[in-house]
Structure 1
């Protein structure tokens, strides 16, 4: 069966309900039906099925996502070799810098955080494993883009565009291509305020041969990146960690 075949409507709608619930702490049937433009009876039938399977919890007539999804997400992460190899290096980065460190991957053209470690000086911006963002808005995503082949980059940009998250986000293809070339030359990427105003990041690629597996990054307040010495320190540390992860990914048991 082709991947281009249309999805089964019932399955698609069930996941659309999960997506809506993801955006709310809890929601009632009437409000969910309004947001999805569906009859309340139809929405209730879907919720009943999802509740039976443990994906949705009913609390006094309102619904929220259940921890069954956390179980699935945890299994996905703990079965991932990159997570296991990268975790000790993220812990070292946190101890060294005090900042938030993460290992990141690309999936379906989006930037996805696989795992995070928090330090004493970490920003607390609701960053969590599984968080997806436009890949061009984050240094950790751009270092991945910089090492994908040209055809794949074209596919990602064509499908997702260059959405502006802030006034500082790169939305011009020529400017993006120039930054990707700089990343390839310098071996790391830096961004300031491009995803969230006040947040900056420094990242380096994790590669095995020509294949790009993901990136190792540090997130910190933008103001800290104004100091050249600190930028250079973070760039050195994330490159060191990315290189160690790249080697260990190949040879560690």
Structure 2
């Protein structure tokens, strides 16, 4: 089987149900049937199977996701070497900045938060480990793009597009590539209001043997990042953090 082989429809539908349940706190069979354009009996069979496996809970006819998925996500994170290496450095970065900080990876052309730590000054944005967003809308995603070869960057742009999440999001490939070149020159990235209006990000890449494996990002209110001295101070701290993680990842047992 290769990437062009059509997916198994039964498995695809099961995950479509999980995706719909992620959007809602709970939902009934009739509504799921309507949204999936499937008979209620078919939807019920899928739900029954997922409930038997622990992924779905039935609360008086309303279905919701079970915490089995949280267990899976937790295991994935705690088995990840980058998480263990980065966590103490993120804690130190939070102590210095008081802001929301995260270590991030690229997966399937998207930006994914692997782990985050919150400080006293953190914005409340509903960010959580595992959240996935368009990679071009976030400085911590763009510093990873800046470290990828041109062929990979072009492939991500072609497959994922450059959607506008806010009116400030870069949606032109030439403009994005110019920003990536600037990131390479200065060693860090900054964006304002491109993913969330009112939110700014300062980020630096984590590189091991000339390969970008992730990034560190500091999330701040946009108005604080307009102050050049503050912005440069955050940039120095985030670069220092990313460099320490890079070295520790390479040489820790």
Equivalence for 2:118 = 118
Equivalence for 1:178 = 178
Equivalence for 1:92 = 92
1:67 and 2:105 are equivalent in the alignment: no
- Listed one character per residue, the Cα deviations across residues 131-161 of structure 1 (whole Å, up to 9, x for unaligned) are 0000000000000000001111111000010
How does 1:224-239 map onto structure 2 within 5 Å?
A: 224-239=224-239
SS in 2 for 1:217: strand
Equivalence for 2:199 = 199
Take 1:119 and 1:4, find their aligned partners in 2: how far apart are those partners? Answer: 45
Q: Which runs of 5 or more residues in structure 2 are unaligned?
A: none
SS in 2 for 1:102: strand
How many residue pairs align between the two structures?
Answer: 253
SS in 2 for 1:121: coil
SS in 1 for 2:144: helix
1:155 and 2:159 are equivalent in the alignment: no
Equivalence for 2:8 = 8
Q: Which runs of 5 or more residues in structure 1 are unaligned?
A: none
Q: Please report the TM-score for the alignment, with normalisation by the length of structure 2.
A: 0.99
SS in 2 for 1:146: helix
The CA deviation at 1:38 is 1.1
Give runs of ≥4 in structure 1 deviating > 6 Å.
Answer: none
SS in 2 for 1:127: coil
Q: Please report the TM-score for the alignment, with normalisation by the length of structure 1.
A: 0.99
SS in 1 for 2:164: coil
Take 1:233 and 1:31, find their aligned partners in 2: how far apart are those partners? Answer: 51
- Listed one character per residue, the Cα deviations across residues 30-85 of structure 1 (whole Å, up to 9, x for unaligned) are 11111111111111110000000000011011011100000000011011000000
Q: What value does the CA root-mean-square deviation take over the aligned residues?
A: 0.6
